[in-house]
Structure 1
Amino acid sequence: MELFPPIPLAQWQDSKETVHRFAQVVGKIRLARSVRRNHWWNVPYHLTGRGITTRPMAVPDGRGTFCIDFDFVDHRLVVCSSDGRRVSFPLTGQSVASFYRRTLDSLAAVGVTVSLPHPTPFDLPDTGRPFTEDTEHAAYDPFWVNRYWQVLSQVNLVLEEFAAGFCGKVSPVHHFWHTFDIAVTRFSDREIEQPRTVDPVTREAYSREVVSSGFWFGDDSFPRPAFYSYAAPEPAGLADCPLRPDAARWIERNGSHLAVLDYEEVRGGEDPRGAVLDFYESVYQPAARLAGWNIGGEASPGGVTDPVAARGGG
């Protein structure tokens, strides 16, 4: 597999819009059936060797578990329960409406019923349309959907490596069905008071000071894949700090600044992996310094905090 293979948004945008809504259907099931975790860590997907997974969830009577996986190799949705039952159906040839019905039918076949309070897309242009009525989004190109998973898998490993260098509070590397990005977030213990007018999703996500790093596939406002990083709240002067490599830049987005590094700029370089790690570090270091974090005390080079091992003693 090529490191960071091409994935231009224009080549698979229709498929992306469909898969994004598929992911929201299953993501809302995960939201309904999982125990709430700080900063919504219970909700996103994790990567597998064939696609993405909800991870296990409790069946309604609490006497077992079930799991929903997207298999982007064979292009099937797979529902499994801890009693051995397994149901799957093809992702190809589905509209959002048919996908929604077949997902609920598959859950029923393994003894799981789920009621979604809001069975509509979240923060997408068709937010008001029920999943059951969406026959518009039905594009699914297996080649590009598999490519999406390949890219996710490789970025996942880079983010895992970056996460290893920080021993403070740090999120898992996870794939959000809200914004369709993959990210890892470092936290300080400083509590952030959000205005009561801020929506509850944002209030929980940013209840502590953060520096977040990730990758997204592009959207209408930024129509190309890119690595990104930001701090929230943004320390004064952060956007004046230089970024690495030279192709990285600050842009204004949603009233603050976002550091971006175009995916295509990285792909052609001599050391794409190293360039991305250097980019993330060039945001984290000044953001943490300006916010007064204990940079040295929270460092774990190579994922090591044991002082004996750090000195080469075993």
Structure 2
Amino acid sequence: MELFPPIPLAQWRDSKETLHRFAQIVGKVRLAHSARRNHWWNVPYHLTGRGITTRPMATADGGGTFCIDFDFVDHRLLVCSSDGRRVSFPLTGQSVATFYRDTLDALTAIGVPIDIPHPHPFDLPDAARPFAEDTEHAAYDPFWVNRYWQVLSQVALLLEEFAARFCGKTSPVHHFWHTFDIAVTRFSGREIAQPATVDPVTREAYSREVVSSGFWFGDDTIARPAFYSYAAPEPAGLAGNPLRPGTASWLERNGSHLAVLDYDDVRGGDDPRATVLDFYESVYEPAARLAGWDVGGEASPGGVTDPVAAQGGA
């Protein structure tokens, strides 16, 4: 597999829309059965060697655990409990309605019956339609879904490398089922007061000052895969700083700015990984400096903070 293979949105948009809703169904199970973490860190998916996982969740009695995994190699959903029970079913040939039914049946079969709170898509155009009634979204192309997972895995490793350069508070590398992107976020620790009118998801996500870096596969706003980075709140003057490489650009969105580097512009370069890492640095460095972060004190080149090891000592 080449680094950053092609994944044009037009080739798999229908599959992406179906898979996004599959991920939201299972994500809502995770939301209901995990201890709440700051900035919703309990909710997103983590990657595995074959797909993505909810990670273990507690059963209702608290004595056991269960886990739900998407396998994008064999294209199955696996629902497993710590007492050894296991149910799986194919991801292919499913509408959102049948996937929703089969997921609930699988959970019941392993002894974890569940009612998903508000079983509707979150922040999607069909948010008013229950999952159980969605027979419209039923596309699933195994080739492109596997390609999505391969690209997701490659970007995850790159974000892990970027995360290692900062020793302050940093999120895990997360795959969000809300926006279907993957990101890592650095925090200054400074509390940010949110207006009362802001929705509770956003209030928790941005309750502290952040610089976030990630990747998405394209959407209705930007219909192409791209790497991105932004600061929240955005310090004055940030968008006046040049981005690296020169093909990256600042986009104005909802009164702030988003730095964007097109995936296809990176793919043809001599060193795609270095290009993306430098792109992220070209946003983080001025954002942190303008916001008054301790840029030097929170640096950990190569993931090292031990001064002896950093100087090559034993």
Cα distance in structure 2, aligned partners of 1:11 and 1:128: 27
For the pair 1:256 / 2:282, whether they are aligned, the reply is no
Cα distance in structure 2, aligned partners of 1:113 and 1:187: 38
Q: CA deviation at 1:158?
A: 0.2
Q: CA deviation at 1:273?
A: 0.3
C-alpha contact 2:28 2:117 (8 A) present in aligned 1:
no
* 1:228 counterpart residue number: 228
Matches within 5 A, 1:1-314: 1-314=1-314
Q: CA deviation at 1:94?
A: 0.3
SS in 2 for 1:123: coil
C-alpha contact 1:65 1:82 (8 A) present in aligned 2:
yes
Cα distance in structure 2, aligned partners of 1:95 and 1:116: 18
Q: Which amino acid aligns with 2:114?
A: V
SS in 1 for 2:247: coil
SS in 1 for 2:259: strand
Cα distance in structure 2, aligned partners of 1:254 and 1:3: 33
Q: CA deviation at 1:100?
A: 0.3
Q: CA deviation at 1:287?
A: 0.1
Cα distance in structure 2, aligned partners of 1:262 and 1:109: 44
Q: Which amino acid aligns with 1:158?
A: L
C-alpha contact 1:226 1:260 (8 A) present in aligned 2:
yes
Cα distance in structure 2, aligned partners of 1:181 and 1:254: 19
C-alpha contact 1:98 1:132 (8 A) present in aligned 2:
yes
C-alpha contact 1:32 1:114 (8 A) present in aligned 2:
no
Cα distance in structure 2, aligned partners of 1:163 and 1:56: 24
Residue deviations 1:264-310 (CA, integer Å, cap 9, x gap): 00000000000000000000000000000000110000000111111
Q: Which amino acid aligns with 2:6?
A: P
Residue deviations 1:201-257 (CA, integer Å, cap 9, x gap): 000000000000000000011000000000000000000000001111101112210
**What stretches of structure 1 move > 3 A for 4+ residues in a row?**
none
Q: CA deviation at 1:9?
A: 0.2
C-alpha contact 1:230 1:258 (8 A) present in aligned 2:
yes
Cα distance in structure 2, aligned partners of 1:106 and 1:306: 48
Cα distance in structure 2, aligned partners of 1:265 and 1:151: 15
TM-score, normalised by the number of residues in structure 2: 1.00
Q: CA deviation at 1:191?
A: 0.2
Q: CA deviation at 1:7?
A: 0.2
Q: Which amino acid aligns with 1:69?
A: D
Q: Which amino acid aligns with 1:61?
A: D
Cα distance in structure 2, aligned partners of 1:247 and 1:223: 17
Q: Which amino acid aligns with 1:166?
A: F
TM-score, normalised by the number of residues in structure 1: 1.00
SS in 2 for 1:30: helix
Cα distance in structure 1, aligned partners of 2:109 and 2:115: 15
Q: CA deviation at 1:115?
A: 1.7
The size of the alignment, in residue pairs, is: 314
SS in 2 for 1:155: helix
Cα distance in structure 2, aligned partners of 1:293 and 1:115: 44
Cα distance in structure 2, aligned partners of 1:18 and 1:165: 36
Q: Which amino acid aligns with 1:38?
A: N
C-alpha contact 2:77 2:89 (8 A) present in aligned 1:
yes
Identity %: 84
Cα distance in structure 2, aligned partners of 1:4 and 1:28: 30
RMSD over aligned Cα, in angstroms? 0.4
Q: Which amino acid aligns with 1:285?
A: E
Q: Which amino acid aligns with 2:56?
A: P
SS in 1 for 2:99: helix
Q: CA deviation at 1:166?
A: 0.3
Residue deviations 1:117-142 (CA, integer Å, cap 9, x gap): 21000000000100000000000000
C-alpha contact 1:243 1:249 (8 A) present in aligned 2:
yes
Residue deviations 1:32-59 (CA, integer Å, cap 9, x gap): 0000000000000000000000000001
SS in 2 for 1:156: helix
